[in-house]
Structure 1
Amino acid sequence: MGPGFLLERCAMFTTAWTASPQLPSEGFTPNWSREGFWRQSLRQVVRLSAGGERVRVRFSNAYGNSPVRVAAGAVSAGGVAVRLAFGGAGEGVMPARGELVSDPVQLAVAAGESVAVTLYFDSATGPATFHAQAFATSHRGAGCLLDGEGFSESSESWYFLSAVETDSGRGDGIVLFGDSITDGFGSTPGADRRWSDALASRTGRPVLNAGIGGNLLLNDSAWYGERGVRRFARDVLRLAGVDTVVVLLGLNDIGFSETDLQPTYKPAPVVSSGEVIGGYRELIRRGRACGVAVIGATLLPFGGSDHWGERARKVSHEVNEWVRCAGEFSGVVDLNRVMADPGDPDRLHPAYDFGDQLHPNDEGYGVMAEAVVRCL
C-alpha cells in the first residue's frame, strides 16, 4: 500500500455503504452475474450510514476479464436524481480486474437514507462482479432507464456496485468483517435488519458490512469469495474513514468439513484451532499497521446445525477461549455468550434462531449489535 492509499483514507470522503465483491457464481439464489447485462439498465438501492452534501460511487470489475463500459449512470435520493460523471464525461469504463470511481456529485443525503444507483450498459458486460446475497431488491430493464421507470425484472444481488461515499469527513467508521452472519442471512429481506444496520442505528457511526455468505478465513471458494486473510485489505483497510473492524469469521473453516451433503462447501480441509488463530493474528497485524483497531468476536453457538460435530465443538471452544483470553485483539465482544441458549450453551438461544441453528433472526442481530456497543 503506497502513498495513494494513505491519501485516499485521509481524504474528506467517508465510506457510507459497501458490499464485498465476489466472483460471478450461482451458489445462492438465482442471479444475473454469469449472464451480465447488454442494452439494459440496472437499478440498485442501498442504505447509507453516513450523510453529506456530496456523493461519489465506486464500481468493481475485480473478477472481470475485460473492460466494462458504463454508457450512463445516475444516483438519486429524496426524489432528486443527478447524472453521474467519470473524469468529467458522462460515460466511463471499468478496467478488467479494476474499479471505476465516479466524480463527486452534489446530492444531500442523511445517515439512514436510501439512495438509488442506476447504470445503463449499451454493450455486453460479460459476467458481472457482484455480491450474491443483498437481502435487498435490484431491478433490470431493457434500454436506458435513468428516469427510474420501466424495470421489469428483479434480483436479490448487487452487481458491480461496491461502495457509496459521502463528504461527511468522518473518520470513525466501523467495518463488520465476516461470513453469512455478517452478510445478514436470516434477517428480513428488504427491511435493513442485518446486525450492521442495527449497529449503525445504535451508534450513529458509519457501519460498513464486509460480510460474504459462506466466506472462509483461510481458504478461497468459487461460491463464497476469496479467503478472509486475502480480501481484508480490499474490503476493510482500503475503505475511507474507517478506524475499527470487528472480526467474526472462521465458523465455516471449522464447520464445512462436518458434512458431505453440500457440494458448495468444498474444498473443506480440516483445520485446527491453531490455524484459525494464525489467521486472526494476520488480520490483527495488518489492521494495526494501518492504524485500525481490530476487535475480535467469539464465534456464535452452532450446535445442532449442519456445521456441528465433535471436532467442530472442540475447535470452536478452543478458538473462542483464545479470543477471550489471549489479549491480542484491541477488544473482545463475546457474542458466543450473549447469543447462547442458557440451557445448552452450545446452541443458539431459541429466541434468536432464524431456524437453522446457525443464523440469527432480526432479534438476534439486534442483540449482537447491543453487545458491540458495550465493547466500543
Structure 2
Amino acid sequence: MHAVPRRLSPVLALTLATLLAGSGTASAVTSAPATAATAHGWVATWTASPHRPSASFTPNWSEQGFANQTIRQVVRVSTGGALIRIRLSNAYGTTPLKVTGATVARTVNGAAVRPRSLRHLTVNQARAFTVPAGAELASDPMPLPLTALDSVTVTLYVAAPTGPATYHAQAMAISYRADGDHRADSGAEAFTETSPSWYYLSGVDVIGGTSRRAGVVAFGDSITDGYGSRPGADNRYPDELAERLAAMGRPRAVLNQGIGGNRVTVDSACLGDKATSRFRRDVLGQPGVGTVIILEGINDIGMSEAPTPIGAPPTDVSAKEIIAGHRDLIRQARAKGLRVIGATLPPMKGSRYYTVRSEAKRDEVNTWIRASGEYDEVVDFDRELASPSDEDRLDPAYDVGDHLHPNDAGYRAMAHAVDPADLD
C-alpha cells in the first residue's frame, strides 16, 4: 500500500485547486478544464451500470432503500492515479438522495479498511450533500494515490429514508450494511449484513495516471457483467483483461458496463434499459474512454424463445433487429470518435435459450459481425469458447454449468482473445 504524501507535487496541487473550483455538479460528469496541470483530465477506472430498483436474480435492498444505515462497498480499480473522485447515481430515484456523509479508503479485507488511508468525501467542500433525482454526482477530488488493480472501499451513511435505491444487481462482489453511522469505522464489526449488489455507486475516476482517451469500455449483458465467475475474486472478463494489460506493463482503464439479462432492443424494469438507450450514459458519458467492446444480443435471441429468468414473457426479436441495434451503437460511438470492436455471441447449445430458430439467429448475427466490415475490429468469443467437438456448444472446460455462461477459465480465455493492438 502507498502512504498518502504529506505534500502534493506542484502540478498535482494546481490540479487539485483547479478541480475543486468546478467539482460537485449534478449531471453528466465531464472531464476537468484543459490546463497545463489537467491536460490528461479524469479517467474512469471503475464503473457499474445503474438500473432501476427491482426484484432481481437474488434478494437485494434496492426496493426498500436505506434509512439511518451505512453502506460499505469494495471495488478494484483497473488503473491508478494520484487523485480520486467518486460518482454516485440517483438515476432512477424519485426523490433526492441525501448523503449525510461518505468516506473512501484503501481496502484491507472484507469490510475492513486501512485507518490512515480513510478520507471523508466532500461535494463543494461539504461533507453532507444531495444527489438530485435522475442525476449523477461526482465528489470533490481527493488525494489518494492508487496503482493498477488496487482495491478501494467507499462508505455511505444516509440518515433520512432514501426510498427505492438506484443499484447494480449482479455485482459478483459483496456489499456490507450496518445500522447507524459507521462511515469512519476502520473495522468490519458493525457491518453484519451483506448483499451481492452495488448501491448508488456508479464510478471511480482518477487523474495523474494513464493518458486521456486510453480507457476501454466492455459493454454487454451478464457475460460481460461476470455471471458465473467466482464472487469476490475479480475474475470477470474485463477484470482479466485489465490484469493482462497491467502484466504487460501497459495498464489502462477497463470499465465493466454489463447488466445481467440486458438486451439490445428491449427495455426492462429489472434487466436495464436497452443497449441503444443506455449507451450514451454508460459508454459515451465515461471520462477518458477511447474504445468500446460490444457484446450484446444473446438475450434478445434467447428471450424470444423463453421467459426471462425473473418471469417476463418472451419478446420476439429478429436477427435483423439486433443487427440494426448494433449499427445504432456503432453510429453513436463513431460520432464521439470512439474505436468500436464487435464481439461475436458465444455458443449456447444445451442452454434454456437454445432452439433451432434461436441458433439460426445467433449464426446470422455472428456472420454479420465477422463479415460486414462495419466494426473497426472483431473479437471472436464464439470461436474462442466453442467446444472442439461441437462448435455450437460451450467448451466444457469453460462452462459454468448452464451452457450459456463461462466460468473463471472461460472469462480468462475471453480476455486473452482480445488483441491489445486492437484497443489503440
The interval holding the TM-score normalised by the smaller chain is over 0.9
Aligned to 2:415: 369
Aligned to 1:156: 196
Matched, 1:219 2:266: yes
What's the C-alpha RMSD, in Å, of the aligned pairs?
1.5
Aligned to 2:348: 302
Letter in 2 for 1:125: T
- The 10-residue stretch of structure 1 (267-276 or 230-239) with the greater mean CA deviation from structure 2: 267-276
d(CA) in 2 for partners of 1:46 and 1:183?
A: 14
After superposition, where does 1:271-350 map in structure 2 within 5 Å?
Answer: 271-350=317-396
Matched, 1:108 2:145: yes
Letter in 2 for 1:34: E
Matched, 1:77 2:101: no
Matched, 1:176 2:222: no
* Aligned CA distance change for structure 1 residues 358 and 16 (closer, same or farther; 3 Å): same
1:253-275 per-residue CA deviation (whole Å, 9 max, x = no partner) reads 01112224x56353532121111
Within the candidate set 175, 179, 184, 1:147 is matched to: 184
Within the candidate set 280, 301, 322, 1:254 is matched to: 301
Q: After TM superposition, give the deviation of residue 373 of structure 1 in Å.
A: 2.7
Preserved CA contact (<8 Å) 1:175 1:245: yes
Preserved CA contact (<8 Å) 2:265 2:300: yes
Q: After TM superposition, give the deviation of residue 181 of structure 1 in Å.
A: 0.4
Aligned to 1:132: 169
* Aligned CA distance change for structure 1 residues 41 and 166 (closer, same or farther; 3 Å): same
Letter in 1 for 2:232: G
Q: After TM superposition, give the deviation of residue 169 of structure 1 in Å.
A: 5.0
d(CA) in 2 for partners of 1:5 and 1:73?
A: 19
TM-score, normalization: structure 1? Answer: 0.96
Within the candidate set 131, 135, 138, 1:98 is matched to: 135
Letter in 1 for 2:392: D
d(CA) in 1 for partners of 2:178 and 2:103?
A: 15
* Aligned CA distance change for structure 1 residues 71 and 31 (closer, same or farther; 3 Å): same
d(CA) in 2 for partners of 1:9 and 1:358?
A: 45
Aligned to 1:200: 242
Preserved CA contact (<8 Å) 1:305 1:356: yes
Preserved CA contact (<8 Å) 1:244 1:293: yes
Matched, 1:117 2:159: no
TM-score, normalization: structure 2? Answer: 0.85
d(CA) in 2 for partners of 1:266 and 1:309?
A: 19
Q: Write out the 4+ residue segments of structure 1 that deviate beyond 6 Å after TM superposition.
A: none
Aligned to 1:55: 84
Preserved CA contact (<8 Å) 1:253 1:268: no
Unaligned runs of 5+ in 1: none
* Aligned CA distance change for structure 1 residues 173 and 35 (closer, same or farther; 3 Å): same
d(CA) in 1 for partners of 2:405 and 2:220?
A: 13
Aligned to 1:35: 64
Aligned to 2:284: 237
d(CA) in 2 for partners of 1:230 and 1:265?
A: 23
Preserved CA contact (<8 Å) 2:306 2:313: no
